[in-house]
């Protein structure tokens, strides 16, 4: 039973389109995160939610909008996609904000053409 | 702000060798230090988690140590195997988030 699952695994889309990535965790954790991994494999935090409350909102274009309907789900919606948005987006969760073991999803590879 | 560095960026060893991967962090006020493995095109798999009060953790051929005062953690891999080839990342938990190193790409040559 997958602990952190995200869908879809692959997205290929045209510039200017809107896309969403969904994430769910069944670990009962309070905190969920979105990370972006670029071509150099560096992981950059984008957002974190703790019990549905936005805690971390790094310098991310406002075309990116996270939404947490409940503490087990954290979705990422991206408007007006640009070439530079191409990356792998990872969802993760931990028991508490910034503390404990961090669990990752398999990643969603976004390619913008 | 916490900064995490991993050296070397890439490492190639023959099968059977013991090896050490390094992770340095600038702020010693961490809650824990976690090591991950990432295979190409895959997500991050947790290998070992060391709490700030601990000095080391072991799992099979892996041993991770933590020295908060010097801002260092090491991941020791014994008797390396080709299946150990992957990118290894460390993450320091401090403040309200996890700070990642840039990773070490390990290749074990058969």
Alpha helices, DSSP H only, in B20-60?
Answer: none
Tokens 């997205």 belong to which residue?
A: A11
Which structure tokens are listed for A78? 């991206």
Nearest to B97 among A48, A105, A107 (CB): A48
B102–A40 CB contact, under 8 Å: yes
Residues in chain B closer than 8 A to A104 (CB atoms):
36, 43-46
Query: How many Cβ atoms from other residues are within 10 Å of residue B6's Cβ?
Result: 21
Could you read off the pLDDT of B59-107 as tens digits, one per residue? 999 999 999 999 999 999 999 999 999 999 999 999 889 999 999 999 9
> Which tokens in the block code for residue B39?
């295979």
Q: Nearest to residue A68, comparing CAs of A100, A30, A95?
A: A30
Per-residue CA distances from A83 to A29, B14, B41 (Å): 33, 40, 20
B94 phi and psi angles, rounded to 5 deg = -155, 160
The pLDDT of residue A111 is: 96
Mean pLDDT across B15-29: 96
Neighbours of B71 (CB within 10 A): 19
Nearest Cα residue in chain A from B87: A41
The pLDDT of residue A59 is: 79
Tell me the sheet residues that pair with B50.
B33
For residue B101, give how far its alpha carbon lies from the nearest alpha carbon of chain A (Å).
8
Distance from CA of A25 to the nearest CA of B (A): 15
What share of chain B in percent tops pLDDT 90?
93
pLDDT at B95: 87
Count residue pairs from A and B with Cβ separation < 8 A: 60
Q: What residues in chain B have their Cβ under 8 A from chain A's Cβ atoms?
A: 31-32, 34, 36, 38, 41-46, 49, 87, 89, 91, 93-98, 100, 102-103
| Whole-angstrom distance, CA of residue B25 vs CA of residue B28 | 7
Structural tokens at position A108: 């969603």
Burial profile A70-85: b = 16 or more Cβ within 10 angstroms, e = fewer: ebbbbbbebeebeeeb
Of A40, A45, A99, the CB nearest to B31: A99
pLDDT band for B45, please (50, 70, 90 cuts).
very high
Mean pLDDT of B42-68: 95
| pLDDT under 50: residue ranges of chain A | none
Query: What's the confidence (pLDDT) of residue A64?
Result: 95
Backbone angles phi, psi at B109, to 5 degrees: -90, 125
């Amino acid at each position: 039973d997958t602990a952190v699952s995200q869908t879809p695994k692959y997205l290929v889309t045209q510039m200017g389109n809107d896309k969403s990535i969904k994430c769910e965790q069944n670990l009962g954790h309070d905190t969920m995160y979105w990370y972006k991994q670029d071509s150099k494999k560096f992981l950059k935090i984008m957002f974190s939610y703790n019990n549905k409350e936005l805690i971390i909102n790094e310098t991310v274009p406002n075309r990116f909008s996270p939404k947490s309907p409940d503490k087990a789900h954290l979705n990422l919606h991206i408007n007006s996609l640009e070439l530079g948005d191409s990356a792998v987006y990872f969802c993760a969760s931990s028991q508490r904000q910034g503390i404990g073991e961090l669990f990752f999803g398999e990643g969603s590879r976004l390619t913008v053409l | 702000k916490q900064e995490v560095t991993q050296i070397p960026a890439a490492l190639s060893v023959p099968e059977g060798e013991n090896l050490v991967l390094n992770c340095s962090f600038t702020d010693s006020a961490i809650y824990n230090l976690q090591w991950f493995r990432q295979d190409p095109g895959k997500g991050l798999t947790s290998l070992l988690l060391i709490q700030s009060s601990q000095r080391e953790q072991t799992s099979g051929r892996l041993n991770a140590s933590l020295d908060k005062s010097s801002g260092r953690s090491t991941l020791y891999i014994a008797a390396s195997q080709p299946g150990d080839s992957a990118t290894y990342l460390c993450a320091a938990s401090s403040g309200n988030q996890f700070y990642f190193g840039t990773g070490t790409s390990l290749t074990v040559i058969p």
